[in-house]
Structure 1
Amino acid sequence: MPKPGEYVRSRAQAYHEQAHQMLLALVKLSAAILMVLLLVQLFGQSFGFGLSPLAYACVPLPIMFGWREVAKLRDRARRNEQGATGEEAIAAILEPLKHQGWQIEYGSYIAKLGDVDAFLLSPNGRGYVVEVKSHAGLVQSNGNYLFHTPENKRRRPFQKNFLHQARQQAIAIKQIKNLGYVTPIVAFSHAVVDIKTQPVTNVYVVGQNKLVGYLQYLDNKSRYDAKKKPIKRTDKSDRPKVQKPSRRPSP
């Protein structure tokens, strides 16, 4: 079974390796260009021609143009490392639930949806999917979408629809685990969540400090609702028979 953040951290390592290999290739290419120019300069003097000093300006061009791609790979690696740290922080918070009979799985992979950060099965048989996000700042909602206010920046919507992502994962896990219903949750490990009305389009959005409390509340609520729900009669023969009053004879 994968450990918390293991899959995301492996992606970060892969991005670091790609950035290193690309930078090494760019340096080798620049060195090759320099070697060719030096050879032309050396043997060209024998034939009475030389190179302009401007020709050497093309030596750093591969690094200059390729550095942007290297920076992108390094940024992806940094964001994945931050995500792995967030998943590990959430896992530490969820750990006490194991002693209460909860089952927890991390990093379950679903085709076309990616990895599920955490799947929980309560002692009451209720399923929960937790999608972990490591953004900092303030998280709010207008009832349909999530908005992010980074430190010292303006409020803006998230680039990705985390609510849709969590719902799709919950539907997939429901089918895979053969459960009646799986509750989707988006948990922010570093942000302050200021959302008064829950859920947001059927997804609960919480900060890490309220995650365990929400899970316990939702699980107890679902158990209470199940007991409170009236039993529907499906067999008409079980219904009590009521005798219709006879019609009063006419005078």
Structure 2
Amino acid sequence: MEFAQIAIASWYPLFSFQCLHHLPPRTKQPGEQIRKLVKERRQSGRLSYAFAAIVFIGTVLLFSIFSTSLVGMLVLLVGLVASCYLCLNGKHLMKRADDAQRGAKAETEVAILLRPLQNQGWEIEYNLQVKRWGDADVVLHSPQGKWYIVDVKSHGGTKVYENGRLRKRYGRDTFDFNEGDLISKVKGQATEVKHLKNVRWVTALLCFTKGDVDIPSNQVGGVYVVTASNLINTLLHLDR
């Protein structure tokens, strides 16, 4: 009896490891990666605000001690500058966290829109890690055997193509995207996914959950630029 218990105890860790080793990888949820980024930025922002408060309080205390000397004036100047910088940095991080939160919400909205395709046999993968380009928001494999990648954005305004660049228009004014060249980015992601999945071609799409698109044929350099409301129709049209 004791021998059997010892044998079971010695084999149990190996058995558990083998079971865990053969478990299928956990499927990532829409917006999962960017929500982690939101959490990290907010934590960093709060820390920056906290350090700003500590530096300010320390500066006031030191100045009260050396207020009549040149050292006191120098401490006051350096402390106020440092505290101001930390406050501005915290504000910047919080703004970036809010931007990322909107991006996560946009990815979730698109995932809901894509559910009918899953019911039709489409395979959908979210937040696929790719070299150099971070992660691909949505990767789709259709029943026809075709592959697609969708980069989801939440920018408002009307998207136009001017002077060789994708831009956003508000009224008469047009602006560049802060993220840089979105077309090159999604094309790079499509190339990486093509190598990763070992397939001949991956069609790239840019999907905006806000605003409109005013681009002939909704295509720029082989990349389809669409609104969220037109995403499924575009995919079904391309998959014919």
TM-score band w.r.t. shorter chain: 0.7 to 0.9
* Largest Rg, 1 or 2: 1
How many residues are treated as equivalent by the alignment? 210
2:45 is aligned with 1:19: yes
Conserved? CA contact 1:190–1:207, under 8 Å? yes
* 1:39 Cα deviation after fit: 4.0
Question: Taking structure 2 as the reference length, what is the TM-score of the superposition?
Answer: 0.80
Cα shift readout 1:38-85 (whole Å, capped 9, x = no counterpart): 3457xxxxxxxx569x95964644322332222221121111111111
Structure 1: which 5+ runs fail to align?
42-49, 221-251
2:53 is aligned with 1:32: no
* 1:103 Cα deviation after fit: 0.4
Conserved? CA contact 1:103–1:122, under 8 Å? yes
* 1:153 Cα deviation after fit: 6.7
Conserved? CA contact 1:144–1:200, under 8 Å? no
How do 1:121-200 residues align onto structure 2 when only pairs under 5 Å count? Answer: 121-142=141-162, 144-150=164-170, 154-159=173-178, 160-200=180-220
Question: Taking structure 1 as the reference length, what is the TM-score of the superposition?
Answer: 0.77
| Cα distance, 1:122–1:155 mapped onto 2, change above 3 Å | same
Which of 94, 102, 105 lines up with 2:114 in the alignment?
94
* 1:202 Cα deviation after fit: 0.5
Structure 2: which 5+ runs fail to align?
1-26
The residue that corresponds to 1:228 in the other structure is: none
SS of 1:155's partner is strand
Cα shift readout 1:143-187 (whole Å, capped 9, x = no counterpart): 94312014x571123341111111111111111111121100000
| Cα distance, 1:98–1:70 mapped onto 2, change above 3 Å | same
Distance in 1 (CA, whole Å) between partners of 2:62 and 2:164 is 60
Distance in 1 (CA, whole Å) between partners of 2:139 and 2:86 is 40
Conserved? CA contact 1:143–1:201, under 8 Å? no
The residue that corresponds to 2:21 in the other structure is: none
Conserved? CA contact 1:9–1:80, under 8 Å? yes
* 1:36 Cα deviation after fit: 2.4
Letter in 2 for 1:8: I
SS of 2:159's partner is strand
Conserved? CA contact 1:12–1:81, under 8 Å? yes
The structure with the greater share of residues assigned to helix is 2
* 1:25 Cα deviation after fit: 1.0
Distance in 1 (CA, whole Å) between partners of 2:176 and 2:83 is 35
Conserved? CA contact 2:168–2:176, under 8 Å? yes
Aligned residues: CA RMSD:
2.1
Which of 76, 79, 88 lines up with 2:99 in the alignment?
79
| Cα distance, 1:199–1:35 mapped onto 2, change above 3 Å | same
Which of 95, 98, 104 lines up with 2:124 in the alignment?
104
Which of 104, 119, 134 lines up with 1:114 in the alignment?
134
SS of 1:65's partner is helix
The residue that corresponds to 1:210 in the other structure is: 230
Cα shift readout 1:116-167 (whole Å, capped 9, x = no counterpart): 00000000110000001110111112494312014x5711233411111111
Distance in 1 (CA, whole Å) between partners of 2:234 and 2:109 is 17
Letter in 2 for 1:157: D
The residue that corresponds to 1:7 in the other structure is: 33
Conserved? CA contact 1:143–1:200, under 8 Å? no
